[in-house]
Chain A
Amino acid sequence: MSAHASQAVGGLPAGLVQLQELHGAQGIALEIQTELFPLDAIFGASFTFIDRAFVFLDRPKETSVRVHLTLKNAASAPELNALRSLVGEFANELMACAFRLRITEENRATLESITMQAIAGAMGPPTLDELEDFDFSEEPFEDPLGIAMSWEEKYAKKSKEEPS
């Protein structure tokens, strides 16, 4: 195993935060209950740290995910304060991500409507050249309500299935 014995960090809950060596480097690990924080929030928060830390996820128990953070540009024994501040910032970002997920779900209609109007307003209609280049074959076109059918097709079919 590349993960080694862990050690509590003063001032932080020992059950949640541990100093831990991973892949040969000293880092800090935070254990997160998946009942409290959705996995998408954990991934989202993790991603914002990959510019300054190596981030690795593990699952010590079925109900939790452990996030290992190792500073990229630290000496072999990074300062405790740097690791403490890293894990603190991670916890803040995790909370923001979890909260944002919920708000986004609640306000999805508004956000999508504004985004669609803003982008469509800026893009304008496609040019004839762009329409010509458009690849309609990429996705199968589903039309359960028969909107794309001609009037004749739609009702001819119906009249065959349901003879009056």
Chain B
Amino acid sequence: MTSPRLPSGATTKHAAFFRFRQIGERVLLTGIDGGWILLESDEFEAFTRGELEEGSSLFERLRAKNFLRDHVDVPAAAASIRRRKRFIHSGPNLHVLVLTLRCNETCAYCHASRANMDAVQTDMTAEVAEKTVDFLLQTTNPYVTIEFQGGEPLVNWEVLKHVVHYALDKSRRLGKELEFTMVSNLALMTEEKLSWLLEHRVQICTSIDGPQDIHDKQRKLAGGSSHEVASGWIRRINEKYSELNLDPTLYHVEALVTTTRPLLSRWKDLVDTYVDLGCRALFLRPLDPFGWASRTAHLFEYPRSEYLEFYRSAVDYMIELNLQGVEILERYAAIFLTKILSGEDPNFLDIRSPSGAGIGQLAYNYDGRIFTCDEGRMLHHSGDDTFALGNVSTSSYREVVGHETVRAVVIASQLEGQPDCVNCVYVPYCGIPPVHSYKTQGTLFGRMRESTLCQVHKGIQDYLFEKLGDSDAETLAVLERWTTNRSRDHFLHPAETNPSSS
């Protein structure tokens, strides 16, 4: 997919500002407000030559999407831009707490810099946990999500419980709406712990790296199959949600995959594994460059062109399953389609401009050190403190979010200031986290032409616009359904009606 050549005699007679890109036989145009249109090549030629007949169907289509200079609906465009950038004023919503670096599993590509189970010095203490909660509840955002990470967060179970109790008690007084999420390999889960998590409405998320053979090879659990353990608990937790009369299409364990080279040819097995486990979403994330991933790159890395073939095959198959009545969506597609079709931004922190680092999320190490994002914390464990912002014991909230590193990251992640991005048709929907550019290219800004993440984002959006241009009504309905964002109210702890912290 490349930029189409403008016809000879191209003029700006009719055109409002637009960017364009060849998508198959058609040309995609996007406007400054995120509106888009797919034109046949003769239509594109007529438009760019200024040969539009007023009142023609093409004229009306272009006018409706704000592509005609003399007919731009300025208030509508301004409202659209405001809606797409609504997240700017909110302040950090996602707060990642690393309760410990200890982990009972060993992943070959571990991003999180795990420590052995005897490294108790890497556990967050109750005192640091309280200071962390005191700190994070100062956010200007009325909605706060506390995400428990590790290591393996279940290893530091008592502190996890303490954080939930303490945060619920404190947030009630501060009028914040709270949500808790735990990202766990589930190998240390017990019925007792599960009951407590359900009672306190902590969402549970895990990792499934595909079919059992691949998962077990990549995620080693001493004395057993990590896949069997995780999938057993996924089923059990989903059963429990049903027992609580929660709608299974909305309430189920979320699982994440890390796409490694062995998985590229196994896209069908991967999707089937997720469907069999009752998962409704699959996030086809490519391998990150953090943690041990660089050491094991020779085993797991791949050219992104191969990843994009894998992506297309897997999502084609998922669409096919949806047409047969199986509900499963791909998360990347859902994020981009929401921006493309609904004009809303789902506020996925890594794909927005500016990125969420520092202003949408903060990460807290077990020792109370604060970072712009979890990846910034991962770099700290490799000896690089570029993304460190302070410490919950010594820094004030305003010092941290007003930190010069946050300002640098906000400036660097605005696509309107990026070469390539400023001319890219996908700029209204895209975003790049500076920490990725920093790790892979040594600069916060990155060079998008050489960025693997840019390649992935462009490739996925090319695919989606091909689908939007070529699909039948049923397929379009599936894609439309993927943009439906239903709130999981059961997991919310409203400010006034928190349960007692027993």
A interface list, Cβ under 8 A from B: 48-49, 51-52, 92-93, 95-96, 99-100, 103-104, 107, 110-111, 114-115, 117-119, 121-124, 126-127, 130
What A residues does B422 contact at CB under 8 A?
Answer: 103, 107
Minimum distance in angstroms from B431 CB to a CB of chain A: 13
Please tell me if the beta carbons of A100 and B140 are within 8 angstroms of each other in the complex: no
Q: Does B499 contact A (CB under 8 A)?
A: no
Min Cβ gap A69→B in Å is 13
Chain A residues in 8 Å Cβ range of B92: 122
The reply to whether A111 and B402 contact each other, CB–CB distance below 8 Å, is no
Closest to B448 in A: A96
Q: A111-B416, A114-B410 are in contact. List 5 more A-B contacts (CB 8 A).
A: A51-B442, A99-B419, A104-B417, A118-B354, A122-B406
A48-B442, A93-B447, A114-B88 known; A119-B402 Cβ under 8 A: yes
Answer whether residue B11 sits at the interface, using C-beta atoms and an 8 A cutoff: no
Is B414 touching A114 in the complex (CB atoms < 8 A)?
yes
Kindly provide the distance from the CB of B342 to the nearest chain A CB, expressed in whole angstroms: 22
Nearest-CB residue, chain B, relative to A106: B422
Chain A interface helix/strand/loop/mixed? helix
The 7 tightest CB contacts between A and B, nearest first, are: A121-B89, A99-B419, A124-B140, A122-B91, A122-B401, A122-B359, A48-B443
Binding site for A on B (CB under 8 A): 85, 88-92, 138-140, 354, 358-359, 396-398, 401-402, 406-407, 410-411, 414, 416-419, 422, 441-443, 445, 447, 449-450
Check if B417 sits within 8 Å of A107, measured CB to CB: yes
Can you list 21 A-B pairs with a CB-CB distance of less than 8 A?
Answer: A48-B443, A96-B445, A103-B417, A107-B416, A110-B416, A114-B85, A114-B410, A114-B416, A118-B89, A118-B359, A118-B410, A119-B401, A119-B410, A121-B89, A121-B90, A121-B359, A122-B90, A122-B402, A122-B406, A123-B398, A124-B138
- Measured CB to CB, the closest approach of chain B to A144, in angstroms, equals 27
**Contact partners of B419 in chain A: CB under 8 A:** 95-96, 99-100, 103
- Distance in angstroms from A133 CB to nearest chain B CB is 10
The CA of A99 and the CA of B417, in the complex, are separated in Å by 9
Q: Are B91 and A103 in contact (CB under 8 A)?
A: no
Q: Which residue of B lies closest to A93 (CB)?
A: B447
Kindly provide the distance from the CB of A36 to the nearest chain B CB, expressed in whole angstroms.
Answer: 16
Contact call B447/A111, Cβ cutoff below 8 A: no
Known contacts A96-B447, A115-B411, A121-B90; is A126 also within 8 Å of B416 by CB?
Answer: no
